[in-house]
């Protein structure tokens, strides 16, 4: 689905804003869609699904990130890394584990675009562990 990589980026950026500003997530979603002139319905729908899935499972996802981050508190993980991982885990664990390597690749590309090499290694390491330990797959 050609719209999914862009929807993943959109969801990450909305969640990043929510994490930074603390404003209501639904308002941020609508503002983002409007400001970025997102007209493709499938893209908007999937972005909303990603964000809402994280919101529904935020406690479990944040605990998993902390657990796989060598027991770091979730607040010690950087905003970029934290929100890329949140959306990635929401998708992998609660939406679809079909083509997990493609999904993970999209999130690694986001880490490359928005953060440094250490972020990429960190995100890749966490997602690799999830793939092996939670989804029972080899990376």
Q: What confidence tens digit (pLDDT) does each residue in 37-57 have?
A: 999 999 999 999 999 999 999
Asked if 19 contacts 79 with a C-beta cutoff of 8 angstroms, the reply is: yes
Task: Tell whether the model's pLDDT for residue 18 goes beyond 70.
Answer: yes
Could you name the CATH architecture of 4-134?
A: Orthogonal Bundle (1.10)
* φ/ψ (deg, to 5) at 36: -100, 5
Give the model's pLDDT for residue 74: 63
Give the model's pLDDT for residue 2: 85
Give the model's pLDDT for residue 70: 77
Model confidence over 100-115: pLDDT tens digits? 999 999 999 999 999 8
- pTM of the predicted structure, to 2 decimals: 0.91
Q: From CA 22, how far away is CA 3, in angstroms rounded?
A: 27
Domain boundaries, given as residue ranges, for the chain: 4-134
Asked if 61 contacts 83 with a C-beta cutoff of 8 angstroms, the reply is: no
- Please choose, from the candidates 45, 42, 51, the residue with its C-alpha nearest in 3D space to the C-alpha of residue 89: 51
Q: Which of 66-70, 72-76, 78-82 is predicted most confidently?
A: 78-82
Give the model's pLDDT for residue 128: 93
- Please choose, from the candidates 59, 58, 81, 95, the residue with its C-alpha nearest in 3D space to the C-alpha of residue 127: 81
Give the model's pLDDT for residue 106: 96
């Amino acid at each position: 689905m050609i719209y999914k990589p862009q929807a993943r980026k959109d969801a990450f950026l909305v969640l990043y804003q929510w994490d930074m500003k603390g404003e209501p997530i639904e308002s941020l979603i609508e503002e983002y869609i409007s400001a970025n002139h997102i007209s493709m319905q499938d893209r908007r729908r999937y972005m909303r699904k990603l964000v809402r899935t994280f919101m529904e499972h935020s406690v479990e996802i944040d605990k998993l990130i902390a657990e796989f981050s060598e027991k770091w508190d979730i607040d010690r993980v950087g905003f970029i890394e934290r929100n890329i991982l949140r959306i990635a885990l929401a998708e992998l664990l609660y939406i679809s584990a079909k083509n997990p390597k493609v999904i993970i690749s999209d999130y690694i590309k986001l880490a490359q675009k928005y953060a440094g090499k250490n972020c990429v290694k960190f995100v890749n390491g966490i997602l690799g562990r999830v793939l092996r330990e939670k989804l029972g797959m080899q990376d």
